[in-house]
Chains A and B, each alone.
Chain A
Amino acid sequence: MSLVVDLFMVLLILTSAVWTVLARDRRDAVIAFIVLGLQLSLVWMRLMAVDVALTEAAVGGGATGLVLLRACARLQPVEAEGRLPGLRAQIAAGLLCAGVGVALAAVILAPAAPAPSLAPAVAAHMDEVGLKNPVTVVLLAYRALDTLLEKVVLVLGLIGVWALAPDLFWGGRPASLRAASPSGTLTFLARVLPPVGVLIGVYLVWNGADHPGGTFQGGTVLAAMWLLVMMAGLGELPETRALRLRRLVAVGPALFIAVGLAGFWMADGFLSYPPEYAKPIIVAVEVALALSIAVILGLMVAGPAAKEPER
């Protein structure tokens, strides 16, 4: 019975995917992609990965979708829609892709038995970290290096986006996110929702130590609230040269590295935590990271500086 539901879900997903690729209009493609992101977060629920489902909905569908939609709005007057090349090229590429798909499907159909897993190893050492959400334990203890480096990736990505500003505008504000004609409805939402949203974001971060949730999910919600306020025209984006902003971006990764290095003296080495303080340290790092992630995501959506810095 449940497999019928899954089958239906798969059909929906494949429809969205095909629409994403084949839609003539690029905005249709983006909307199909956002729908796909939401469907995929349901799939992650079915796969019992709640943390991933939250991330996929917030980042995969939400933030990525917003970036793509904004791109559409700015491309509309400038760039013509591209067309897929002729039928012969389509058939050739289709055969190649189908081949790849079939090969991958064959691997899925012949799984290793018994399925290999690190779950027992994760469970065996959970006590040493003192958190109850295994995904957070993996992200902030066992594989903390990956998480740390990925924060560095985010900062580099932001520098990369900023680097695209013309020299004259360096340090200025990004292009305004404000809707062309802000409507009363949006302003209303931007006044009512943020307090609730911030509460939810903080809850997700706080809760992430022991239950599904965590820095990304919470940080993305915080970023969304910030962006909403900007879009309604209730606030302006800060100048990219503002040191306070820069420090907000850097505080998460910097604290993470500092805690990691402190491990040389206080625990068994880089990125290890003294057992009795592991939980408070990790939660503190998560809070700082969520703050930085919120600011970075917001700034990445906003794009490079587009105005001269004010004197």
Chain B
Amino acid sequence: MSLLLDLFTIVAVSSGLFFFLAGTVGFLRFPDTLTRLHALTKADNLGLGLIVLGLLPRCPDLVSALKLVAIWALVQLGGATASQLIAEFARRGGGR
């Protein structure tokens, strides 16, 4: 059982890291603001989600599990809003 959980954690966290990596590469390589944002937010939200998912079975109690989920939800909210704002700014012709 614990071996299975360990395996689950390893797989989930590694794939989370992969998405972070992909998002970063996209951020660096994509040509304009909107596509960069796309790369960042999509990959990071998924990446963080997978890492949180992978860590959940390791939580000692329910409260810390809830905290982890809350962190994920907050980052979702923050990331989504920030990228919306940046996109609006970019569309209005600001930035470089």
Contact = CB atoms under 8 A, between A and B. Distances in A.
A185 B74 CA distance: 15
Interface string B72-85: 00100100010011
Contacts of A196: 74
A186 interface: yes
Contacts, number: 15
Dominant SS among interface residues on chain B: helix
A188 B74 contact: no
A202 B88 CA distance: 33
B74 A186 contact: no
Contacts of B81: 185-186, 188-189
Contacts of B74: 196
A183 interface: yes
A38 to B, nearest CB: 13
A193 interface: yes
A28 B79 CA distance: 21
Contacts of A192: 77
Interface in B27-84: 74, 77, 81, 84
A192 B81 CA distance: 11
B77 A185 contact: no
A193 B78 CA distance: 9
Interface in A255-303: none
Nearest to A199: B70
13 contacts: A183-B84, A183-B85, A183-B88, A185-B81, A185-B84, A185-B88, A186-B81, A186-B85, A188-B81, A189-B77, A189-B81, A192-B77, A196-B74
The 3 closest A-B pairs by CB, nearest first: A185-B84, A189-B81, A183-B88
